[in-house]
Amino acid sequence: MRKMNLGEITAEFGPGKGNPRNSEGAFLTLRDNRILFVYCRFKGDNPADWIPADLWGVVSADGGRTFGEGRVLLTCEEEGAENIMCPSLITGIWGFSTWPGLHTPELGCFCADPPMRD
């Protein structure tokens, strides 16, 4: 059986102090061809699914070979949620990225429809 080389790991987002785990993420190519990776970053010491988690983002300007420093994009406290998981990213019909709740013009991301609130 022939082994296939599928690529290489260019970035790892491992756990650390106050960050017991990271999980689901999504990639999106922005208008200027940078790559945005948004992932779920848990807070505290417990790695369980029900602990607070925010969405963080990192950007690559070189086709995914390297990524810049991560930063929080959306917090569970801002949304009044226990945690925020499983991001999905799409490119809108006008060619800019849309993601409910995210207002980050410097990344080319805008909220097309605000999230529903009680």
Radius of gyration of the chain (CA): 16
- 57-81 burial, b if ≥16 CB within 10 A, otherwise e? bbbbeeeeeebeebeebbbbeeeee
In tens, the pLDDT along 20-37 reads 999 999 998 887 888 889
In tens, the pLDDT along 49-75 reads 889 999 999 999 999 999 999 998 888
Tell me, what's the pLDDT at 118?
39
Task: Provide the 8-state DSSP code for 76.
Answer: H
Q: How many CB atoms lie within 10 A of CB 42?
A: 23
| SS3 at position 107 | helix
Global pTM reads 0.75
In this structure, the strands spanning 71-74 and 53-60 are antiparallel
With beta carbons less than 8 A apart as the criterion, state whether 102 and 36 touch. no
| SS3 at position 42 | strand
